[in-house]
Amino acid sequence: MAKVRNNIFVRGLSGSLGDQFVVKLDKAGRTIVGVSPTFSEHRTYSASQLDWQENFRNAAVYATGAKNNPVYIEKAENTPMNPYNVAMADFFHGPEIKALDASAWNGTTGQVIRIQAVDDVKVTQVNVAITDATGTVLEQGAAVQAEGAWWTYTTTVSDANATRIVATAQDLPGHVAQFQWED
């Protein structure tokens, strides 16, 4: 794919040139020239290709409904992307929990656990569950966004049997990432 800048021969041109080239203009005003796609009428798709097509359809449905979300509108400003493109890309990239800092926690009430959660657009919530060795939940709740990508959770229960912290982060499309810390 070629990108053409300020060329008087193709400025403002869009469409196809015969069966060989496709010319389009992007949001930033750049003219993009590419080879025309060719497809066999008798092609078959593998199971993974069909899964990808279904996932892409789901992303398109999500982006159509989310393109008016102010978060996506703001993220698209001053970029070649529009809010629909930002929402579409966000659908394919779930959140990540980069770190869990439990250095200030020893199992008593009122201590802070810090979670670093990131996403390509926005992390909407982070939840924390504290369990014992058997997986029994001793306490759970929502963390509060702190500075940057960090979220904080203040413990509400004292329990010497607490050995595991499970943090989950969610983004706008509803994807969930999970991180487990064990003592």
* Per-residue model confidence as pLDDT tens digits over 107-157: 889 999 999 999 999 999 999 999 988 889 999 999 999 999 999 999 998
CATH number at residue 170: 2.60.40.1220
- pLDDT for residue 167: 97
Model pTM above 0.85? no
Q: Are residues 139 and 153 in the same domain?
A: yes
- pLDDT for residue 66: 96
- pLDDT for residue 28: 73
Residue 85: give the domain boundaries.
Answer: 47-91
Total domain count, the chain: 3
Q: How far apart are alpha carbons 96 and 116 in whole angstroms?
A: 8
Could you tell me what percent of the chain has a pLDDT over 70?
A: 93
Q: How far apart are alpha carbons 75 and 77 in whole angstroms?
A: 6
- pLDDT for residue 11: 67
Q: Are residues 6 and 71 in the same domain?
A: no
- pLDDT for residue 138: 92
Question: How far, in Å, are 40, 53, 76 from residue 56 at the CA level?
Answer: 21, 5, 20
Phi-psi region of 158 (alpha: psi -120 to 50; beta: other; left: phi over 0): beta
Angle (CA) 169 132 102, round 5°: 50
Q: How far apart are alpha carbons 99 and 106 in whole angstroms?
A: 18
Q: In 3D, which of 99, 150, 144, 97 has the Cα closest to residue 125?
A: 144
User: Which mean pLDDT values do the consecutive 10-residue runs of the chain (183 residues) have?
Assistant: 64 75 78 82 92 96 96 93 95 96 90 96 97 90 95 91 92 96 87
